[in-house]
Amino acid sequence: MLELAILGLLEGQELHGYEIRKRLRDDLGIFSNVSFGSLYPALNRLERSGAVVAVVEPDAGSTTPVPMTGSLSGERAALRARRATSNRGRRARKVYRITPEGKALFAELLDSERDADDARSFGLRLALARYLPPSARVRLLERRRASLVERLEQARLAATGRDRLDPYARSLVEHTTEVTEREISWLDRLLDAERAPGVTARTVAIADTEGEHR
Does 179 contact a copy of itself by CB under 8 A?
A: yes
CA 119 → CA 27, 141, 168, 200, 205, distances in Å? Answer: 17, 12, 23, 30, 27
Q: What is the chain's percent helix, strand, coil content, to nearest 5? A: 65, 5, 25
Distance in angstroms (rounded) separating the CA atoms of residues 206 and 137: 13
Q: Closer CB to DNA, residue 89 or residue 197? A: 89
Residue 62 interacts with, from DNA, a copy of itself, none (CB under 5-8 Å by kind): none
Residue type present at position 198: G
Q: Which helix (H) or strand (E) holds 19?
A: helix 17-26
Taking the complex as a whole, the smallest distance from the CB of residue 72 to a copy of itself amounts, in Å, to 42
In the chain, the largest separation of any two C-alpha atoms, in whole Å, equals 76
Residue 185 interacts with, from DNA, a copy of itself, none (CB under 5-8 Å by kind): none
Using CB under 7 A, list all residues that contact DNA. 1-3, 16-19, 31, 33-38, 40-44, 76, 80, 83-84, 88-94
Which own/partner contact pairs does 175-180 have at CB distance under 8 Å and 24+ positions apart?
Answer: 177/152, 180/148, 180/151, 180/152
Query: CB under 8 A: which stretch of 34-42, 48-56, 58-66, 162-170 binds a copy of itself?
Result: 162-170
Q: In residues, how long is the chain? A: 214
Residue 43 interacts with, from DNA, a copy of itself, none (CB under 5-8 Å by kind): DNA
How far is Cα of residue 36 from the mean position of the Cα atoms in its chain? 16
Q: Closer CB to DNA, residue 34 or residue 190? A: 34
Query: CB under 8 A: which stretch of 43-51, 73-81, 87-95, 203-211 binds a copy of itself?
Result: 203-211
Taking the complex as a whole, the smallest distance from the CB of residue 129 to a copy of itself amounts, in Å, to 4
Interface ranges with a copy of itself (CB under 8 A): 26-29, 32, 123, 126-130, 151, 155, 158, 164-169, 171-173, 175-176, 178-179, 182-183, 186, 190, 206, 209-210, 212-213
